[in-house]
Amino acid sequence: MSSSKENNKEHYQEFYETNDWGVSYSKIRFQVVSYVKLIELFSRKPLKRILDIGCGTGLYTKAFMDLGYRCTGIDFAESAIKKAKEQFDGAHFLQHDATKITLDDKFDLFFASGFSPFNSMDFENISRIINQWAEQIENEGMIFILGRSDLSGKKSSSGWYFHTAEQVENMYLNSDCEVMTFYIHPLLRYVLIIPIFRKSVLKLVSYFSKNIIAKMMRRPVRLVSILIKK
């Protein structure tokens, strides 16, 4: 695994003692509503139990919970879990290393937003983690992975790899799941919540975000990878 500070437990432990990502709950909730639309569009069965991986201080966990899902948030940084529990009394959080999951429960959906071990060029390790996650989800369950990239293949100023589209494909090459990746510029996320939203609209948004915004304009877009356990 990469030894960059973004993959380092002590780095996050220290970070959460005095910081957070500065994003409001209402913004995250709005995002989660749009992700739920995507999840519903591709899910082959009702997805009720969610594991929010690398949950930080718990905003996504809380948003899923408020939308009626049973959601557990896990993070390896104790300081993050402490803050999450203080902020969202009644939500379920555990300190746990998500690269070695040993939970008894099975889940329908693993949700991973900005999961730092994926900020790496070690695609074998990424596949290993994903295949291990797949063992913890029910058949036809889903792994929903959110990243960000301008597809340049360079490291961003914040220390995150902006993987190329080919590298994103490589991440999932050895996974035992059906994989779909979409590219969505943040402003275009709004179309996901309009009632006429269909797969064809998503394909159009994705094509535009990938080829015009990310590749031509070199602007980062959201990468949404949906993996369905076969």
Ligand X SMILES: C[S@@+](CC[C@H](N)C(=O)[O-])C[C@H]1O[C@@H](n2cnc3c(N)ncnc32)[C@H](O)[C@@H]1O
CB of 173 to ligand X, least distance (A): 21
List the one residue out of 180, 191, 188, 197 whose CA is nearest residue 221: 188
Query: For residue 140, with 0-12 CB atoms within 10 Å meaning exposed, 13-18 middle and 19 or more buried, which class applies?
Result: middle
Q: CA angle 114-56-16, nearest 5°?
A: 115
Q: Under the criterion CB under 6 A, does residue 12 sit at the interface with ligand X?
A: yes
Binding test (CB under 6 A) with ligand X, winner from 72, 116, 206, 209? 116
Q: Under the criterion CB under 6 A, does residue 97 sit at the interface with ligand X?
A: yes
Helix (H) or strand (E) holding 140: strand 137-149
Binding test (CB under 6 A) with ligand X, winner from 14, 21, 103, 173? 21
Q: The tokens of 69 are what?
A: 């899902």
Stretch that binds ligand X, among 82-90, 102-110, 113-121, 182-190 (CB under 6 A): 113-121
* 29-45 burial: b if 16+ Cβ within 10 Å, else e: bebbebbbbbbeebbee
CB of 196 to ligand X, least distance (A): 29
Q: Shortest Cβ contact with ligand X: which residue?
A: 54
Smaller CB separation from ligand X, 5 or 199: 5
* Residues between 179 and 198 with contacts to ligand X, criterion CB under 6 A: none
Residues forming contacts to ligand X in the complex (CB under 6 A) are 12, 21, 54-56, 74-77, 80, 97-99, 113-117
